Structures are given as structure tokens and as C-alpha cells.
Amino acid sequence: MPRVKRKGVSDTPPPVTPSRSLFLAGAGILLLSIPFFVFGLGFLDTKARVEFQCESGGPCDLTRVGWLTRESPLTFSLEELRGGRVDRRRSSREGESIYRPMLVTTRGDFPLSAHWMENERQAQAPVISVERFIRTPFAPGFSMWHDDRPRASRVGALFTGTAVLVLLFGVRLTWRAVRRRGEERTLPAPPVA
């Protein structure tokens, strides 16, 4: 019985992606992971933890901390401290007020929290502590902190997770390229016509 060749069917094996193409794809994807890592680690290191501590009689240190690094502290003498206040503004959504505690000094005003708060009582607490420390001579030292790092680092975690997935995909393609290169070297050379 004669062999019937159907249209669209070929006796040749399916094409195989050459190792060079796989290397280029793997390298491109590995390079693509770099900006994701840069942005991810940058967002993870947002200085969203604010620490304020005072020794008895001064000085006081104000430090901003991220997950990866911390800024060098700003040091204030007792004479530089003027008090505290709560800033208030309208939220863009629903028009409700939001609050932020501020440290007032001769060098300017410094926030005691990285983000605005919805609860006025929560924003008032650090201001009361600062005012009490300044008014009371020989007051004992104290320290306080406000940590918004978990909220601030969500975007960083998303970027970093994406970077890891892209990196793994790039490593997988590069590994396939290495294996394919080995297969290509073991294939017999095509006959010369």
C-alpha cells in the first residue's frame, strides 16, 4: 500500500530551540530581574519606624529605621526642644481628618510617625510624653517608637517576590541552554554536499 502524505504533516522532527537562543532569553530575563530587586529592596528599606528617646536631662535622639538600614540619629539638647504638636489634615477619601504627631525644635519640626494616623488619641500620646518630659525638671528618660514598616513594605515585598520568580525563570532557561549546548555538541555533523 502506497504511503499517503497528508497535507500539513511532516516527517521531520519538530524544531528544537537552539542553545544560543535559550542563552539570550535566559540572560535577558536575568537582567530583567535586576530592576525588580532594586525597587523591591528600596521599598523594603523605607524608613517607616521612628524612634525617639531621651536621657534624663537630655540629650534626645530621633532615629528613622527601615528593615535593612537605619539613619544616623538626630540629636537634640534639652534647650533645642520646644514641645510637640499634632498636625491635622483632611483625608483624600471620605473627607475625614487624619493626624500626625510632630516634634517641635529650634531646628524645625520633625514627624514622630512615618504615616498619618486616623486616630487623634493615638497621635496625641507621643506629644503628651514629649511635653511632660520638657516641663518636668530632672524627669526620668524615656523612649517611644512608632512602627509603620509592615504597611510601608507591602509594595517592596511584592517587587522582591516578583524579582525572585523572574530570577528563577532566568536561571531555568540558562540551565536548559547549557544542557542543549551539550546535546548539540554530541550530535553528528551534517553531511557536506
Pairwise CA distance, residues 29 & 174, whole Å: 9
CA dihedral 125, 99, 120, 138 (to 10 degrees): 20
pTM of the full predicted structure? 0.67
What is the span of the domain harbouring residue 120?
Answer: 49-151
Query: What sign has the CA pseudo-torsion 124, 125, 130, 134?
Result: positive
pLDDT at 8: 57
Q: Are residues 147 and 166 in the same domain?
A: no
How many alpha carbons lie under 13 Å from residue 12 in its C-beta half-sphere?
A: 4
Whether 191 maps to a domain, the answer reads no
Model confidence at 63, pLDDT cuts 50, 70, 90, reads very high
Model confidence at 12, pLDDT cuts 50, 70, 90, reads low
Whether 10 maps to a domain, the answer reads no
What are the start-end ranges of the E strands in the chain? 49-54, 60-65, 74-76, 81-90, 97-105, 108-111, 142-147
- Our count of domains for the chain comes to 2
Q: Are residues 104 and 143 in the same domain?
A: yes
Question: Residue 44: pLDDT above 90?
Answer: no
Q: Are residues 109 and 81 in the same domain?
A: yes
Whether 189 maps to a domain, the answer reads no
| DSSP β-ladder status, 97-105 and 60-65 | unpaired
How many alpha carbons lie under 13 Å from residue 170 in its C-beta half-sphere?
A: 16
pLDDT-wise least confident of 60-74, 78-92, 112-126, 174-188:
174-188
Residues of the chain above pLDDT 70, percent: 85
Q: Are residues 58 and 78 in the same domain?
A: yes
Q: Are residues 93 and 116 in the same domain?
A: yes
Pairwise CA distance, residues 171 & 165, whole Å: 10
Model confidence at 135, pLDDT cuts 50, 70, 90, reads confident
pLDDT at 85: 92
Q: Are residues 146 and 94 in the same domain?
A: yes
Which residue in the block uniquely carries the three cell numbers 524627669?
A: 139
Model confidence at 112, pLDDT cuts 50, 70, 90, reads very high
Query: What sign has the CA pseudo-torsion 163, 169, 171, 173?
Result: negative
